[in-house]
Amino acid sequence: MTTRLNPSLIVLTVLVYIFLMGPLIIVLGASVSDTSYLTFPPQGFTLHWFERIFEMGAFRRTIITSLQIAFLATGLALLIGIPAAYALNRYRIQLPSWLSTLFVLPILVPEVVLGFSLLRSVAVEYQTPIFATLLVGHTLIVLPYCVRVISASLASFDFSIEEAAISLGSRPLKTFFTIVLPNVRSGVIAAFILAFITSINDVSVSLFLTGPGVSTLPIQILAHVEQFFDPVIASVSVLLMLLTVAVMAVVERTLGLTFLAK
């Protein structure tokens, strides 16, 4: 038997979900409108605005940069985050407790402050290339997801299995790749997805680190909206929403939708 819900609460929930979905449906509608301005419901139907995205050099370039940065930053963060998460679990007693706090600092520090500080103390001070600084910034903001999520899966891993493999003569590195990593596969996938989507959508850190010639998609969208109010932005937004759908589909396939409920 389940508890009965107050009807007014159900009405409120329906309204909240209309509020959550409505704006995104409006963007979808506006992206296919056959008008030179943004409107909803769409007048006519065209996919012209989607073609426009790729005709415009600035969007093409920033989409490529955003994808490069997202893949590289996520890869780097996993590369250094997985050993860190492993160490935090395997050698918990030997390591100081502040270490795990250190790895979540990038979430605790306001992103605009991080972006500005990287500009001030790294990009300007040492004249580092824009792309490299941007990559460092993105690796930092996605690192906490990698460490936290993989740590959580390692927490339920029984390390005696690893010890058994080693005592039976398996080399440590091989043991890690054949025994430990497959057991935390779902954690690695989840970390990858969270990190990738965080990097693709980031504004606050990129804001200070983009420069002449190198920019990311969200920054380009902001710049475009300041000058033009055409359906191109709506169609770019739809592309980003499609990416979200793809990501959720991957999660559903690999981890099951119950994962999202956590």
Q: Give the interface segment with other proteins, choosing from 48-56, 161-169, 177-185, 232-240 (CB under 8 A).
A: 232-240
Asked if 246 and 64 count as a contact pair (C-beta separation under 8 A), the reply is: no
Binding of residue 5 to other proteins (CB under 8 A): yes
Q: Does the footprint of other proteins cover residue 165 (CB under 8 A)?
A: no
Q: How many CA atoms lie within 13 A of 42 on its CB side?
A: 19
Give the nearer residue to other proteins in terms of CB position, either 56 or 248. Answer: 248
DSSP per-residue codes, 48-115:
HHHHHHHHSHHHHHHHHHHHHHHHHHHHHHHHHHHHHHHHHHHTTTTS-THHHHHHHHHHHS-HHHHH
261 binds other proteins (CB under 8 A): yes
Is residue 208 within the footprint of other proteins (CB under 8 A)? yes
Asked if 154 touches other proteins (CB under 8 A), the answer is no
- Please identify which residue in 47, 49, 114, 134 interacts with other proteins, judged by CB under 8 A: 114
Which residue in the block uniquely carries the two structure tokens 């955003």?
Answer: 66
Q: Which residue of 103, 134, 188, 190 would you call a contact of other proteins, by CB under 8 A?
A: 103
Smallest gap from Cβ 262 to other proteins, in A, equals 7
Which residues, numbered 19-38, are part of the site for other proteins (CB under 8 A)? 19-21, 23-24, 26-27, 30, 37-38
Facing residues of 211 across strands?
214
φ, ψ for residue 214, nearest 5 deg: -120, 115
